[in-house]
Amino acid sequence: MIDLQLQGLRAVVTGATGGIGNAIAEKLALEGCALTLVARDPPALDREAARLGALASGAPVATIAADLGRPEDIARVAVSLENADILVNAAGAVPRGQLLDTTAEAFRWGMAVKGFGTIDLCREAFRHMKARRRGVILNIIGNSGQRPNPKSVGTSTVNAALIAFTEAVGSISPDDNVRVLGINPGLVATPRTAGLLQASADPNDLAYTHLTRDLPFGRMARPEEIADFAAFLVSARAGYCSGSVYTIDGGARLRV
Ligand SMILES: NC(=O)c1ccc[n+]([C@@H]2O[C@H](COP(=O)([O-])OP(=O)(O)OC[C@H]3O[C@@H](n4cnc5c(N)ncnc54)[C@H](OP(=O)(O)O)[C@@H]3O)[C@@H](O)[C@H]2O)c1
């Protein structure tokens, strides 16, 4: 048996009503973490808080409705980081498409929410974790940051920046006994990819063909498969892991 030793730790999870963030929040709840869920939609947050709070572990679940594209909302979330042992950044909605498909406004907004949302919350969490000399920050990024996708310029750009950010901060944070890590998922079956598939429903569309016919294992990853690894990474069992971004894409980035 591997005891992750997460019982009683306090975790803040952004994007906690979405596919990956929700699966991570559920896993941490099952492991006994006290949770703060962050996303924009209050009814969805209430629903998930009730669901996760009813799990056998009985750990408390709080919510913060916040738009991470707005600095004033980030400041409200930052208050919850004062005592957090774990921060998971899984919020994001960067527009896909080639450069000319993406307006300047949409590109900036995607960079604000996922890029600066992650960076600003990392800064706040790290400030407190450094003072207490304990804590873990996990950023959910994306494998397009490693292998840029010309059909998704926005996500490739934000993800590349967050990989560099996570590696840079996580390489020095162990000096303060803080770990900073990332996960690069490939395609994961979440509401975000369901929307993408609908948008690419034309079988002659290269994106559709790529999405549905050439995936490792013949399928997308399940959110739970990202969550299991995330729980390990934020646990004491991964105590020597920092400054690294781990790819979970079944090797998809290497396939033509
Ligand atoms: N799914 C994939 O295949 C995949 C692959 C690689 C990387 N990723 C990355 O992993 C992250 C999560 O993806 P996902 O597939 O789980 O997405 P998802 O199912 O669409 O969930 C996104 C989450 O982020 C929240 N969110 C969106 N905009 C927000 C904002 N402005 N402020 C605060 N919260 C916001 C959403 O809730 P509200 O809308 O209520 O705010 C939701 O909880 C994203 O950064 C994505 O780029 C995903």
Q: In sequence order, what are the residues at sequence separation of 6 or more whose Cβ sits closer than 8 angstroms to the Cβ of residue 193?
A: 19, 187, 211, 220
Rounded average pLDDT over 138-151: 94
Order the strands of the 135-140 sheet from edge to edge: 61-65, 34-39, 10-14, 86-89, 135-140, 178-185, 245-248
Nearest CA to ligand 1 atom 25: 15
Helices 19-30 & 223-234 angle (0-180, nearest 10): 50
For residue 198, is pLDDT > 70? no
Ligand 1 neighbourhood includes 182 CB (under 6 angstroms): no
Dist CA 199 CA 224 (whole Å): 25
For residue 182, is pLDDT > 60? yes
For residue 222, is pLDDT > 70? yes
Ligand 1 neighbourhood includes 245 CB (under 6 angstroms): no
Query: How much distance in Å is there from the Cα of 110 to the middle of ligand 1?
Result: 11
**Residue 59 confidence (pLDDT):** 84
For residue 206, is pLDDT > 70? no
Residue with the two structure tokens 């013949």? 218
H helix intervals, 8-152: 19-30, 42-53, 71-79, 104-110, 117-132
Ligand 1 neighbourhood includes 115 CB (under 6 angstroms): no
Ligand 1 neighbourhood includes 30 CB (under 6 angstroms): no
Rounded average pLDDT over 220-242: 97
Query: How much distance in Å is there from the Cα of 15 to the middle of ligand 1?
Result: 5
**Mean of per-residue pLDDT scores for the chain:** 93
Residue 141 near residue 166, CB atoms below 8 Å: yes
For residue 208, is pLDDT > 70? no
The beta-strand segments (E) located in the chain are 10-14, 34-39, 61-65, 86-89, 135-140, 178-185, 245-248
Domains along the chain with CATH numbers = 10-251 (3.40.50.720)
For residue 201, is pLDDT > 60? no
